[in-house]
Chain A
Amino acid sequence: MNSLKLDENQLIENFEAKLAKNEMIEPKDWMPAQYRKHLIRQISQHAHSEIIGMQPEGNWITRAPSMRRKMVLLAKVQDEAGHGLYLYSAAESMGISREEMLDQLHTGAAKYSSIFNYPTLTWADMGAIGWLVDGAAIMNQVMLQRTSYGPYARAMVRICKEESFHQRQGYEIMNVLASGSAEQKEMAQDALNRWWWPSLMMFGPRDEESPNSEQAIKWKIKRETNDQLRQRFVNQTVSQVEKIGLVVPDKAIKWNEAKNGYDFGEINWDEFWTVVKGNGPCNKARIAAKIKSHEEGAWVREAANAHAEKNNKTKAA
C-alpha cells in the first residue's frame, strides 16, 4: 500500500517536472486523471465547435453573391470540418471514442462554443464571422500551439496555418461592403453590431469567474487567461474596424495610455450565461440539424462496414 502511494507521488513528480521543463505530455505518458478529464472535455468541446460552426456559414453557401465568394466559403467550411476531425483524433488519443464524443454532443452533455448559437441573417455576417469569430478563435488557438498535450498542440499548429485565410476573407467581405453603397455599408455595420459582443464572449468568463482557468494554467494547458486574450483581441481589432470606416458598437471604447490598450464596456454576462445554458437563439436548431445529418448518414456507415467485412471474409477464405 505504502509503496503504491509512493509510486503515485513519484509519477506526479515526474509529470510536473516535465511541465516545468516545457516538455510535452504524450498519449502514453502517465498523467493525473484530472488532467486527462480536463483535456478530454476541452478538446472535444473544441472539436464540436468546429463541427457545429459549419452550420451558420453553411447556411450561406448557396446564396454567396459570386462564384469567387462561393468557392472561398465552401473551402472555409470544409477546413472547419477538417479542424473538427483533427481535434476528435487528438481527444481519442486520451482514450475516449469518437462515438462517445458524438453521443455527448447529440444528448447535450457536451458543450460547444456559444458563438454558433447566433443566427446568420445577412451576407455581411459571413464577413463578420470570418473576421471576428475566426479572429477570436485564432487568438486562442495561437496560444494553444504551446499547450502541454502533444497531440492537441500539433493539431493547433496545423489549424493555425489554415485559419489565416479564414480571417482575411472575412475582413475582405466587410471591407468591400463598407466601401460600397450606403445600404451595403449599413449591412456591414449591422453585422459588426451583432457579432462584436458575442465575439468578446468567446474568450469565456472573466478570470475571477473562471475556476477551471487557474488549474489549466498550472498544467500549461492554457498559457494566458481569458481576460488577457480578450484584451489583446480588442487592442488589435479596433484599428481594423476604423480602417474600413465602421464604428465599434461600444461607447466605452477608449485608448488607455497607462495600460497600453483599450478600455471597453462591460459584457452582458446574463446573455452569455443564457446562451451557454442552452437558451440562445439557435441552440436547439443547431443540435437538431446535427442529429439529423448524423442519422441520415447512418446508412453510409453501415454500408461501408458491411463492405469492409465482406472484403475481410474473402481475404480470409
Chain B
Amino acid sequence: MNDSQGILWEVFIQSKPGQPHKHAGSVHAHDNEMALQNARDLYCRRSEGTNLWVVPASAIVASSPEDIGSFFEPSNDKVYRHPTFYSVPEGITHM
C-alpha cells in the first residue's frame, strides 16, 4: 500500500468571517498540513472562503438515513418550542 492516495478528508469552508462553516466536499491527503493545502487548492480558487476546516472522514459520526423518522421524532411533538404556539393580546408588538 505504498502507492496510496492518502486518506479521505471532509472539507468545511467559512465563506465570510462570522458565518458558519459549510461542507464543501472532500480531498485526499496524507497529513493535516497537506489536507489543508489540498483543500485550499481544490475548493478556494475563487475567494470562496476565509477559513477552512479539514476533518478525517473516518472521524465523522453520522446518523443513518433509516433514522429519519424515529431519531428525530422527539422534536416533532413539541410544538410549544415554537413561538407560534403562544397567543398574545392583539396589538402587542416587539415580541
What residues make up the interface of A, taking CB atoms closer than 8 Å to B? 26, 28-30, 75, 78-79, 82, 85-86, 89, 92, 98-99, 154-155, 158, 162, 298, 301-302, 304-305, 307-308, 311
Contacts and interface: CB of A to CB of B under 8 A. Distances in A.
Contacts of A86: 25, 42
Interface in B26-64: 26-28, 30-31, 34, 41-42, 45-46, 62, 64
B-side interface size class: 20 to 34
B2 interface: yes
B51 to A, nearest CB: 19
Contacts of B8: 89, 92
A308 B33 CA distance: 10
B46 A301 contact: no
Contacts of B87: none
A154 to B, nearest CB: 7
Contacts, number: 56
Contacts of B62: 28
B19 interface: no
B20 interface: no
A89 B31 contact: no
B4 A311 contact: no
Contacts of B2: 301-302, 305
B3 A85 contact: no
A293 to B, nearest CB: 14
Contacts of A155: 25
Interface in B65-86: 65
A41 B69 CA distance: 32
Contact of A308 (B31, B41, B42): B31
Contact of B30 (A79, A82, A154, A307): A307
Contacts of A308: 6, 30-31
A298 B3 contact: yes
Contact of B65 (A26, A85, A158, A301): A26
| Most chain A CB atoms below 10 A, which of B1, B30, B45 | B30
B93 interface: no
Which 7 A-B pairs give the minimum distances between C-beta atoms?
A304-B30, A308-B30, A89-B26, A308-B31, A98-B5, A29-B65, A302-B2
